[in-house]
Amino acid sequence: NENCIAPPAPGALPLLLLHLAAFSRLNTAKVLLPFTRGTRVNFTLEASEGCYRWSSTRPEVASIEPLGPAGCLCSQRALVQAPHHHHLLTGQVLRCDAIVDLIHGIQVVSTMRELYLEDSLLELKIHALDSEGNTFSTLAGLVFDWTLVKDPEPDGFSDSHNTLRILKFLESTYIPPSYILEMEKVAKQGDTILVSGIKTESSKLKARLQESIYKNVQPSEVRLLILENIFLNPTYDIYLLVGTSIQYRVQKQRQWKITGFNFSNRKCFIGKWICSTK
């Protein structure tokens, strides 16, 4: 349960409360929020302990809303745009600067640029930057348009709308931020998506901001490589006597099942284990 101080009952004598606690800290010292016209972008400020009354020095620029039980004078968390709050029990004051600025550019980021065919899901996320290259703290609630781009390349590997599939988190076992689930329920895409490979080729994704004031912000593109999970069996080091030999088998793993790999009707670059059925 959150710390809470209820308002005193009418006519009741106030109590002197002493709270000897370790130094409390905020989860961040500075929040950078994007300016929007039609979408409210929120960020949650949270103190490590204690109960605080939250206020903003510039409420016309950054507002703040306490998150706690109704009727409480203080809370441990608040919904940002909140730069300033005060501990009711110890008098300790914590400060966080909230800055609101325009988005200058966006960038798609991921832990990897490769994923295995029909085996693993990859999470893609958008980072937004201001004109000085600072990264915005959150893009929660902003609507993005994620699309597959067909982009033939001279090496014979071409993008295809049948190469990659964009999934909803509701279709997976992954747990996204709550705002993503709410957006998916109304058929909107946010700053985070999941993708799955359905064909061994390269594929390009494009993400674009839908907010009208950012129509001139360039979309961000990312190229992904969908691979067969191919390996040699045996996989361990082999030591042979002079004049002896050993036979290796090429196998593939898909959805935890290991089977033989057929090279017929495939164009393969074994150095990278990239194979195409074309």
Place of tokens 């009711």: 88
Binned at pLDDT 50, 70 and 90, residue 45 comes out as confident
Answer whether residue 120 shows pLDDT above 90.
no
In this structure, of 12-16, 139-143, 188-192, 226-230, the range with the lowest mean pLDDT score is 12-16
Amino acid found at 224:
L
Binned at pLDDT 50, 70 and 90, residue 161 comes out as low
Mean pLDDT, rounded, for 34-56: 82
Q: Cα angle vertex 248, ends 242, 250, to 5°?
A: 160
pLDDT for the residue numbered 130: 94
Answer whether residue 134 shows pLDDT above 50.
yes
Binned at pLDDT 50, 70 and 90, residue 16 comes out as very low
pLDDT for the residue numbered 107: 96
Answer whether residue 32 shows pLDDT above 60.
yes
Q: Tell me the CATH number for domain 105-153+160-227.
A: 2.60.40.10
Residues 79-95: b if buried by 16+ CB within 10 A, e if exposed: bbbbbbbebbbbebebe
Amino acid found at 268:
C
DSSP-assigned letters across all residues of 154-210: TTS----TTTEEEE-GGGSS----HHHHHHHHTT-B-SEEEEEE-SSSEEEEEEEE-
* Range from 108-117, 129-138, 234-243, 255-264 that averages highest in pLDDT: 129-138
Please check whether residue 117 is in contact with residue 229, taking contact to mean a CB–CB distance below 8 angstroms: yes
pLDDT for the residue numbered 218: 96
pTM reported for the whole predicted model: 0.67
Please check whether residue 80 is in contact with residue 42, taking contact to mean a CB–CB distance below 8 angstroms: yes
Top pLDDT among 23 and 17 is at 23
The β-bridge partners of 122 are: 195
> With left for phi above 0 and alpha for psi between -120 and 50, is residue 91 left, alpha or beta?
left
Top pLDDT among 27 and 146 is at 146
For 133, phi then psi, to 5°, come to: 85, 10
Please check whether residue 53 is in contact with residue 47, taking contact to mean a CB–CB distance below 8 angstroms: no
Distance CA 71, CA 170 (A): 35
3-state secondary structure of 108: strand
Please give the mean pLDDT across all residues of the chain: 77
* Token pair recorded at residue 134: 């600072």
Longest dimension (CA), the chain: 101
Q: Considering only CA atoms, which of 60, 56, 89 is closest in space to residue 72?
A: 89
Amino acid found at 196:
S
* Range from 43-47, 99-103, 142-146 that averages highest in pLDDT: 142-146
Q: CB count, 10 Å around CB of 176?
A: 18
